[in-house]
């Protein structure tokens, strides 16, 4: 299914189920928020999108603990979880999504290679953190687009547990 069709399908599901969504993005730089709002009717479900690229913004806006960033780094399951759960509280939406990772073309290490991405999705009922390792030979935009596709699927799956 083409991305626009996936977005239309998600749009319909969110509106039909009266579900509100918020997004906190780092490595995707607003791509998810942009795509979630490109289909007419998005104002019925999309409440807010934050691009928290710097550690300072993760701390100041999303209330990620400084010690989490020091101990685990910005690209970690723990940071992704705090971003997601804190955004859920801040936004008061049904679903919050967070994304942090290394899209390249540089910035990767042996421990945290290019293509490593964490996607968090949470509601009052459940928090899920997905660790993904995309092919580091892919381009930055390709990795970001793959994260978008995976995020759409995760939101759809999460709707079923609400």
Residue 155: beta bridge partners?
A: none
Q: CATH number of the domain that 13 lies in?
A: 3.90.950.20
Give pLDDT, residue 7.
96
Query: Is 136's pLDDT higher than 80?
Result: no
Mean residue pLDDT of the chain comes to 96
Confidence of residue 13 (pLDDT cuts 50, 70, 90): very high
Give pLDDT, residue 138.
87
What gap in Å lies between CA 107 and CA 47, rounded to an integer? 31
Contacts of residue 19, defined as CB under 8 A and 6 or more positions apart, other chains included, come to: 13, 45, 94, 95, 159, 162
How many domains does one find in the chain?
A: 1
Q: Beta strand pairing status for 116-122 and 127-133?
A: antiparallel
Q: Which range of residues forms the domain containing residue 25?
A: 3-159
Confidence of residue 85 (pLDDT cuts 50, 70, 90): very high
User: Can you give the pTM of this predicted structure?
Assistant: 0.96
Residue 32: beta bridge partners?
A: none
Average pLDDT over residues 4-24: 96
Give pLDDT, residue 157.
94
C-alpha to C-alpha distances, 80 to 25, 116, 139, nearest whole angstrom: 10, 12, 23
Q: Of 138, 161, 14, 158, which is closest to residue 84 (Cα–Cα)?
A: 158
């Amino acid at each position: 299914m083409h991305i626009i069709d996936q977005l239309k399908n998600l749009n319909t599901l969110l509106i039909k189920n009266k579900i509100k969504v918020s997004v906190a993005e780092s490595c995707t730089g607003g791509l998810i928020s942009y795509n979630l709002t490109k289909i007419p009717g998005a104002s019925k479900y999309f409440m807010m999108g934050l691009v928290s690229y710097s550690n300072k913004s993760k701390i100041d806006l999303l209330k990620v603990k400084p010690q989490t960033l020091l101990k685990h780094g910005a690209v970690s399951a723990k940071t992704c979880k705090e971003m997601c759960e804190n955004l859920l509280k801040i936004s008061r939406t049904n679903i919050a999504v967070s994304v942090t990772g290394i899209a390249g073309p540089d910035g990767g290490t042996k421990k945290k290679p290019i293509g490593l991405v964490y996607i968090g999705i949470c509601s009052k009922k459940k928090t899920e953190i997905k660790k993904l390792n995309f092919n580091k030979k892919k381009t930055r935009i390709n990795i970001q687009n793959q994260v978008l596709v995976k995020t759409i699927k995760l939101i759809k799956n999460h709707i079923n547990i609400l």
